[in-house]
Chains A and B, each alone.
Chain A
Amino acid sequence: MKKFTLRLSLFALPFVLALYPMDYFISNTLRKSNSFANWEYPVWNDIFNGNIKSEIIINGSSRAWKGVDAVMLGDAFNKKAYNIGLDGHDFYLENLRYNLLLEHNQKPELIIMILDNHTLAEATRIYTPEQLLPYMLWNSTMREPITKLKAYNYYDGIIPMIRYYGKRSSLKEFARLQIRKHPKNDINKIRGYHGFEMDWDPTEFQNLKNDLKKKHKKTFDTKLYKPTVQLFDKFLSESKSNNIEVVLVYAPEFIEGQKVMGNRKEIIDVYANFGRKYNFPFYDYSRDSISYDQSNFYNVLHLNKNGAEIFTKDLIKRLKHEKNLQSNFMYSK
């Protein structure tokens, strides 16, 4: 038994010794990628490195990061703005990103919370879980929300390297970065925002309609998820008590697409009620003229670059006329 244990320990020793250095090396290399994991690494890097340094934070899903130009918005108020919109997620993970921002950066003065039909739905998965890989190890803030969504287990956040098990695409990206081969789909997010110069593509909407037909349904209904609603309430309440202004903004959605979203009114009412409860402004852009013009969108839910500029400009105009903000935010230095 002794001999067996000794030989086994000897065999395992190189692994044990190499685990942490390998993890450190792979994670640090992977962080440099600005094309992998839906271009999320640059934003995560800025959050973890304390580089956000902004008074205005734009939070939300892809409706946020593809729709609100942070530089334009910040310049309009002579302040710094950063867009931390997280692709493919609802408030559960958006809130995690915001909490991590608070942990590593200065507290913002204003949060523009971009909302959509799914913001308060149940989180069932992590979209592109690879985006979290380089930051997860020994990070207690991330551990619970991530393990709850079952993309990773408890030990993934505790033991070096094991979360890379079977993550072939991440390891491939690591290898690519090592040989410095340039990716094909590099985009340059500026302060978390990137506008997409794309024209309207009808195929996605058609697929959506076909999907409904297949399911013999007329609309897609989104179910509000109580724990996420409570989390959102907590976020608003804490922002209020920390003197952080929040502006709730229901993002523009192409009018034709709104017809297949069943319970939009019920959901928008929930947001409006939250605005009233905490005396935060609520803007509904789903009935704004932006939402009626197809040329502003590249699909039903996403603005193109031109649409994003129009939307950001209009948002700035509205914010400048917002009474609540004038005293607390606009004239602060």
Chain B
Amino acid sequence: MSEAKNPSVKKFWFWLSISINLGFLGVFKYYNFFAESFAAAVANFGFEAHPWTLKVILPVGISFYTFHGLSYVIDIYKDRIKAERDFVDYSVFVSFFPLLVAGPIERATHLLPQIKKKRIFNHISAADGLKQILWGLFKKVVIADNCAYFANIIFDNSSEYSGSTLVVGALLFTFQIYGDFSGYSDIAIGTARLFGIDLLRNFAYPYFSRDIAEFWRRWHISLSSWFKDYLYIPLGGSKGGMWMKIRNTFIIFLVSGFWHGANWTFIVWGLLNALYIMPSIIFNNNRNHLDIVAQGKYFPTIKELLSMVFTFGLTVFAWIFFRSENLTLAWLYISRIFTPELFSFPNFKYQSSFTPIAFLLIGFILVEWIGREQQYAISKILSKSAFLRWSLYYILIALIFIYAGVNQQFIYFQF
């Protein structure tokens, strides 16, 4: 493609490459969904269809490395980079082990030059990488896995629980998915730093966002920016007037939902987020909060606090769709929340063993709040005293050792 002098030849190779990349993703991830949805649709008209479905295991991380590959091809087509002629360097770019299974989704323009450059070991960067790995481990093993244990109990037996308990279940899943995915990202970024490679930032304290637009600038940043650069802008972005802006925003969120998995729950989750963001798109205030909340202060203002709580509430509600196995279960879960028992005291199985986890969760939120101006929460914490800093690391290791939850697979491995 990069050698092609004729634009139509270049275009041919470009679309061939895009088709192959998306073809693999389509076959492995979406074929069964479309076949089964088609069968269900024709069944509504009284016809019977028995589509042939694939019985293969979805390759781990296929959505991630497909997007790596796509960004590489698009960047060459757009002449942002030159085609890589060293197969080893290209292979490292596509399959660099820390980010292979769950990102961050890298760009060829960002990662390839780092792979090609001679790297000299930097002990400050390596130590920082280890610190980020430690924090990522804590998030995954202590926060996410323990929240998952209780969230699973509540979601899997939702018919037995009161509205207030179901709210707790949704909250726990909210922290589970954040701890799980941002924990993995921290481990991946930290590991890469040991090799002298800086990966793209993937999370920036999304639950402290003041509106949904800010949330999406802080959650799964590498995917959001990928969609912005490779889909939203090529579709015309916001240049074609209000209607175009609304259409493109819906497309982005629809595709983003679908990217997560071939299930209507993800699509509804994506559309719900599109609806959430719509007022700020229409009133053109989606870039109101580009700064860090309460920067340089200990506490947010009442207005900031209320905005954060409201945005967080919307996010928690949307996660119910993400977590549910199908739309019927999601709807049942939501309808059971809004009963008079919503105001009763939450009560669930093994609740007594949840108490220490609740304290850890509160501690975790506090540390994240304190460190929200840094790349990751403990990056600069207690930087003035080596003794206190090392003590904190030992405490984190001890907490990981004692409070390691029941081993749960990373949620994003399935995508």
Which residues of A approach B to under 8 Å, CB–CB? 1, 3-4, 7-8, 11, 14-15, 164-166, 168, 171
What is the CB-to-nearest-CB distance from A12 to chain B, in angstroms, rounded to a whole number? 10
**B402→A171 contact, CB < 8 A:** yes
26 contacts across the A-B interface (CB closer than 8 A): A1-B121, A1-B123, A3-B123, A4-B121, A4-B123, A4-B126, A4-B127, A7-B123, A7-B127, A8-B130, A11-B390, A11-B393, A14-B394, A15-B397, A164-B401, A165-B401, A165-B404, A166-B401, A166-B402, A166-B403, A166-B404, A166-B405, A166-B406, A168-B402, A168-B403, A171-B402
**From B130, which residue of chain A is reached at the shortest CB distance?**
A8
Residues on B with C-beta less than 8 A from A1 are 121, 123
Q: In the assembled complex, how far is the CB of residue A107 from the closest CB belonging to chain B, in whole angstroms?
A: 41
CB-CB under 8 A from B393, the residues of chain A are: 11
Chain B residues in contact with chain A, CB under 8 A?
A: 121, 123, 126-127, 130, 390, 393-394, 397, 401-406
Q: Which of A1, A11, A15, A166 has the most CB of B within 10 A?
A: A166
B404 neighbours in A (Cβ, 8 Å):
165-166
CA distance A1 to B196 in the complex (A): 12
- B130 partner residues in chain A, CB cutoff 8 A: 8
Which residue of the partner chain A has the closest CB to B194?
A4
Q: A3: which B residues are within 8 A, CB to CB?
A: 123
10 nearest A-B pairs in the assembled complex, by CB-CB distance = A166-B404, A4-B123, A1-B121, A3-B123, A4-B126, A171-B402, A165-B401, A165-B404, A168-B402, A4-B127
Chain B's nearest CB lies how many Å from the CB of A87? 22
Task: Note all chain B residues with C-beta closer than 8 A to A7.
Answer: 123, 127
- Interfacial chain B residues near A14, Cβ < 8 Å: 394
Distance of A14 Cα from B402 Cα, bound (Å) = 17
Which residues of chain B are within 8 angstroms of A11 by Cβ–Cβ distance?
390, 393
- Distance of A200 from chain B, by nearest CB (Å): 27
Separation of A11 and B394 alpha carbons in the complex (Å): 9
A11–B130 CA distance with the chains assembled, in angstroms = 12
**Residue in chain B with minimal CB distance to A5:** B123
With most chain A CB atoms within 10 A of its CB, the pick from B130, B397, B401, B403 is B401
Tell me the minimal C-beta distance from A157 to chain B in angstroms: 18
CB neighbours of B402 from chain A (8 A): 166, 168, 171
Complex interface: chain A residues within 8 A of B406 (CB): 166
Complex formed: what's the CA distance from A8 to B134 in Å?
13
Which residue in chain A gives the minimum CB-CB distance to B390?
A: A11
Q: Which residues of A contact B394 (CB under 8 A)?
A: 14
How far in angstroms is the closest Cβ of chain A from B296?
Answer: 31
**B126's closest neighbor in chain A, by CB?**
A4
For the complex, what is the distance from the CA of A218 to the CA of B397, rounded to whole Å? 51
